[in-house]
Amino acid sequence: MLPINLAIVGVGKIARDQHLPSIAGNQNFKLVAAASRNGAVEDIANFTTIEAMFDAVPSIDAVSLCMPPQFRYDAAYKAISAGKHVFLEKPPGATLSEVSDLEALAKHKGVSLFASWHSRYAGAVEAAKSFLASVKISSVHIVWKEDVRHWHPNQEWIWEAGGLGVFDPGINALSIVTHILPTDIFLRSATLEFPENKHAPIAADLHFTNAENVPVHGEFDWRQVGEQTWNIIAETSGGQMVLSHGGATLTINGAAVPAAPETEYSALYRRFADIISNGTSDVDLAPLRHVADSFMLGKRVVVAPFHDSPEAG
């Protein structure tokens, strides 16, 4: 029944930057509560634990879990067990198995589970998918290079085991590539660079192919200063396709293709409302599987230690 009474858990950067404005702009949802150990949302009921929130506000229908991935399973398990629909931030969990477990539990409890991939809803992604469906692809080059000090200042969880390191942004590229390519790809070789003082990689070089040996090369790097690069370039029988700005801009043979306005998180909440209304779940683990494969197959190289403050090194 509409509106869906929604609660948010883990009030940090992404909750404030994207979830709160998108929820406010969607009439299908009413934000009724938040659970966060330190954060809070104005004008609604706030709690420090998810259990206290469910006890005090039994009318909650659905929750958005916005904490880092290593801490999401327990909250998701409690929410689904309590009969709530669940929106998982990306990546959906710290392991493939825990997300599969949640998927089975959601099915058993008859609630919707949404493993969200926000980059798939960037404005030019669907146009890129349509173009690639109409041509023969000879190669794909993913370049995802950004400055971790700018985008993730002092976020220690991201460097811990399960925090994914450079795959935290890189998985966004993988979520787009697995959506727009007409065939499945799989990893052939990889090199991961780990700072000597961290448990997660700062750079990754990935070589995938599909069954026809079409190369898909990924370069992820967190040490990029100056211009930031989030590009997917495909050489095709119809010319060169460049999907840039994280999926927001598309050119084909240098000519701009019109894109939808930037809608990532508003589109995610529209999708969440749809799957709740249809009684389905949306859990595609392909991007996370490629990250797991990279950790499984990748050669590890130890590189210089990383410090949030460059002077500290």
Cite the active site residues: 90
For binding to ligand NAP (CB under 6 A), which residues are involved? Answer: 10-14, 36-39, 66-69, 71, 89-90, 118, 155, 157, 168
In the complex, minimum distance from the CB of residue 165 to ligand NAP, in angstroms, rounded to a whole number:
11
- For residue 119, the one-letter residue type is S
Place of tokens 């190369």: 215
Please report how close the Cβ of residue 211 comes to ligand NAP at its closest, in angstroms: 31
Q: What minimum distance in Å lies between the beta carbon of 13 and ligand NAP?
A: 4
144: its two tokens: 């995802």
- For residue 230, list its beta bridge partners: 144
Q: Which is nearer to ligand NAP, 13 or 270 (CB)?
A: 13
Residue (168 or 205) nearer to ligand NAP, CB: 168
State both tokens at 158. 């991201």
The answer to whether the CB of 50 falls within 8 A of the CB of 67 is no
Interstrand relation of 85-88 and 62-65 (parallel, antiparallel or unpaired)? parallel
Distance CA 236, CA 81 (A): 48
Report the C-alpha gap between 281 and 174 in whole angstroms. Answer: 21
SS3 286: helix
Q: Which residue is nearest to ligand NAP (CB)?
A: 12
Please state the length of the chain. 313
Nearer Cβ to ligand NAP (37/300)? 37
User: Strands 29-35, 4-9: parallel, antiparallel or unpaired by DSSP?
Assistant: parallel
Give the pairing of strands 62-65 and 4-9: parallel
Find, among 269, 275, 288, 286, the residue nearest to 29 by Cα: 269
Smallest separation (angstroms) from ligand NAP to the CB of 2: 26
Report whether 86 contacts 99 (CB < 8 A): no
Provide the minimum distance between the beta carbon of 38 and ligand NAP in the complex, in angstroms, as a whole number: 4
In the complex, what is the shortest distance from the CB of residue 216 to ligand NAP, in angstroms, rounded to a whole number?
Answer: 23
Nearest to ligand NAP of 13, 107 (CB atom): 13
Tokens encoding 270: 């529209």
Give whichever of 34 and 187 is closer to ligand NAP, judged by the CB atom.
34
Residue nearer to ligand NAP on the CB measure, 11 or 32: 11
The first and second tokens of residue 56, run together, are: 């005090």
